[in-house]
Structure 1
Amino acid sequence: MRSLLIFFGIFAFIGTVCFFLGVYLLFNTMEKNSSWVEANGSISGFDGETPVIAFDYNGNEVTFRSNFSSSDMRAGDEVVVYFPPDNPQEAEIKSFFSQWFLPIFLFAFGLVFEAVGVIGGAKQLKRVNAKRDLFTHGKGRKTLVPIADVIVDGSFKVNGRSPFVIVCQYHDAVSNKVFEFKSDYIWYNPAELLKDKKEMDVYVDPNDLTRYYMDTSFLPKKA
Structure 2
Amino acid sequence: MKNSFFGIFFAIFAAVGTLFGAIGFLTWSADQKIKQNGIKTTGTVVSFSSSSKGGRAPVISFMTQSGESRTYYSSTYSSPPSYDEGENVTLWYLPNDPDEVVLSGLDSWLLPGIFGGIGLIFGAIGYGGFIWRWRRKRLNDWLRLNGQIIMADVVDVRYNTSLSVGGKHPWMIIAQYFEPQSQKVYSYESDNIWFNPAPFMSPGQKVTVRVSPKDYGVYEVDTSFLPKQGN
**What is the TM-score normalised by the length of structure 1?**
0.64
Structure 1: unaligned runs, 5 residues or longer:
none
Residue 118 of structure 1: CA displacement? 4.3
Which residue does 2:173 correspond to in 1? 166
Residue 130 of structure 1: CA displacement? 4.8
Residue 204 of structure 1: CA displacement? 0.6
Number of residue pairs aligned between Structure 1 and Structure 2: 216
Contact 1:130–1:213 at 8 Å: present in 2 too?
Answer: no
Which residue does 2:222 correspond to in 1? 214
Indicate whether 1:90 and 2:100 are aligned.
Answer: yes
Q: CA–CA distance in 2 between the matches of 1:125 and 1:42?
A: 56
Contact 1:127–1:213 at 8 Å: present in 2 too?
Answer: no
Tell me the secondary structure at the aligned position of residue 115 of structure 1: helix
Which residue does 1:60 correspond to in 2? 68
The verdict on how the C-alpha distance between 1:168 and 1:113 changes in structure 2, with shifts beyond 3 A counting, is farther
Equivalences for 1:78-157 in 2 at 5 Å? 80=89, 82-84=91-93, 86=95, 87-92=97-102, 94-96=104-106, 98-132=107-141, 142-149=149-156, 150-154=158-162, 156-157=163-164
Q: CA–CA distance in 2 between the matches of 1:99 and 1:157?
A: 41
Equivalences for 1:38-77 in 2 at 5 Å? 38-43=42-47, 53=59, 55-58=61-64, 59-69=67-77
Q: Deviations over 1:83-120 (max 9, x none)?
A: 32513211255552x33333233333333334334443
Contact 1:23–1:107 at 8 Å: present in 2 too?
Answer: yes
Structure 2: unaligned runs, 5 residues or longer:
none
Q: CA–CA distance in 1 between the matches of 2:131 and 2:176?
A: 24
Residue 28 of structure 1: CA displacement? 5.7
Q: CA–CA distance in 2 between the matches of 1:56 and 1:126?
A: 56
Contact 1:134–1:213 at 8 Å: present in 2 too?
Answer: no
Q: CA–CA distance in 2 between the matches of 1:142 and 1:41?
A: 74
Identical columns (%) = 21
Q: CA–CA distance in 2 between the matches of 1:22 and 1:45?
A: 25
Tell me the C-alpha RMSD between the 2 structures: 4.5
Q: CA–CA distance in 1 between the matches of 2:115 and 2:49?
A: 31
Q: CA–CA distance in 1 between the matches of 2:57 and 2:117?
A: 29
Aligned mate of 1:199, from 189, 196, 205: 205
Letter in structure 2 aligned against 1:42:
V
